[in-house]
Amino acid sequence: MPLNSYVTLGRSGLRVSPFCLGAMTFGEDLGGGYGASVTDSEAILSYYLEQGGNFIDTANGYTRGHSEKIIGDFFRQGKGKRERAVIATKFFMNLFAGDPNGGGAGRKAIVSQCEESLRRLQTDYIDLYYLHNWDRFTPIDETMSALDDLVKAGKVRYIGFSDAPAWKVAQAQVMAHFRGWTPLIALQIEYSLMERTVEGELVPMAEELGLGVLPWGPLKSGALTGKYTRANGAKMPGLRGARVGELTEKQYNIIDAVGKVAAECNSDSSTTALAWLKAQPGVSAPIIGARTVGQLQANLKALDLTLTPEQIAALNSASKPVLNFPADFLTHSPSFAHAGATVNGVPSQATFLVPQDDSARW
Residue range 219-277, pLDDT digits in tens: 999 999 999 888 887 776 665 556 667 889 999 999 999 999 999 999 999 999 999 99
* The predicted structure's pLDDT at residue 155: 98
Among candidate residues 62, 130, 158, 191, the one labeled active-site is: 62
Q: How big is the chain, counted in residues?
A: 362
* The predicted structure's pLDDT at residue 99: 97
Strand, helix or coil for residue 240: helix
Q: Is 62 considered catalytic here?
A: yes
Instruction: Please tell me the distance from the alpha carbon of residue 56 to that of residue 127, in angstroms, as a whole number.
Output: 10
Instruction: Please tell me the distance from the alpha carbon of residue 83 to that of residue 257, in angstroms, as a whole number.
Output: 42
CA count, 13 A, side-chain hemisphere, 251? 20
Q: DSSP secondary-structure letter at 327?
A: T
Q: Averaged over 196-221, what is the pLDDT?
A: 97
CATH class of 7-339: alpha beta
Q: Which residues of 236-273 are buried (b: 16+ CB within 10 A; e: fewer)?
A: beeebbeebeebeeebeebbebbbbbbeebebbbbbbb
Asked if pLDDT for residue 319 goes beyond 90, the answer is yes
Task: Encode 91-148 in three state secondary structure.
Answer: ECCCCCCCCCCCCCCCHHHHHHHHHHHHHHHCCCCEEEEEECCCCCCCCHHHHHHHHH
Within a 10 A sphere around the Cβ of 70, how many other Cβ atoms? 24
* Strand order across the 126-131 sheet: 212-216, 184-190, 156-162, 126-131, 86-91, 55-57, 20-22, 287-289
Find the farthest-apart pair of alpha carbons in the chain and give their distance in angstroms, rounded: 81
The pTM of this model reads: 0.93
Compute CA distances 76 → 113, 158, 176, whole Å: 21, 22, 34
Model pLDDT for residues 76-117, shown as the tens digit of each residue: 999 999 999 999 999 999 999 999 999 999 999 999 999 999
